[in-house]
């Protein structure tokens, strides 16, 4: 079964405490991406990766880091989280062009 798996699904943390949200896919897609979803703002892209060791900034990259050391994994790193990073985060893979995005189930992060 085609899957995009994110962990953790829910997390409450405090300002400044580094955290990582993992994302793993089993579809062998080259393109992976992170989005955040906020009320009234829809989905905004944070970072994306076209292939292993190739990453690029999306629309709202400030405060985030990513890495792509393996094709299947694309972790999102918050080095020093702040309350404005409280959000619902989605990892997605894409076949590109006219293809379909496949989303994980989301990770709800609260930063106190």
Partner 1 sequence: GDSVTQMEGPVTLSEEAFLTINCTYTATGYPSLFWYVQYPGEGLQLLLKATKADDKGSNKGFEATYRKETTSFHLEKGSVQVSDSAVYFCALSDQGYDKVIFGPGTSLSVIP
- Residue closer to partner 1 (CB basis): 2 or 14: 2
Q: What is the DSSP letter of 40?
A: T
Residue 93 in tokens: 């893979």
Closer CB to partner 1, 53 or 79, in the complex: 53
Q: Nearest 5 degrees, angle CA 33-CA 31-CA 103?
A: 50
- How far from each other are the two terminal CA atoms of the chain, in whole angstroms? 36
Binding of partner 1 by 52 (CB under 8 A):
no
103 touching partner 1, by CB under 8 A: yes
Q: Which residues bind partner 1 (CB under 8 A)?
A: 4, 31, 33, 40-43, 45, 48, 50, 58, 90, 92, 94, 96-98, 100-101, 103-106
């Amino acid at each position: 079964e085609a899957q995009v798996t994110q962990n953790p699904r829910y997390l409450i943390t405090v300002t400044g405490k580094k955290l990582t949200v993992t994302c793993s896919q089993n579809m062998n897609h080259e393109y992976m991406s992170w989005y955040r979803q906020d009320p009234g703002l829809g989905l905004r892209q944070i970072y994306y990766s076209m292939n292993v060791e190739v990453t690029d900034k999306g629309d709202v990259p400030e405060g985030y880091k990513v890495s792509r050391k393996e094709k299947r994994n694309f972790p999102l790193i918050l080095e020093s989280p702040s309350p404005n990073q409280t959000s619902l985060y989605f990892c997605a893979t894409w076949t590109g062009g006219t293809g379909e995005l496949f989303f994980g189930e989301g990770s709800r992060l609260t930063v106190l």
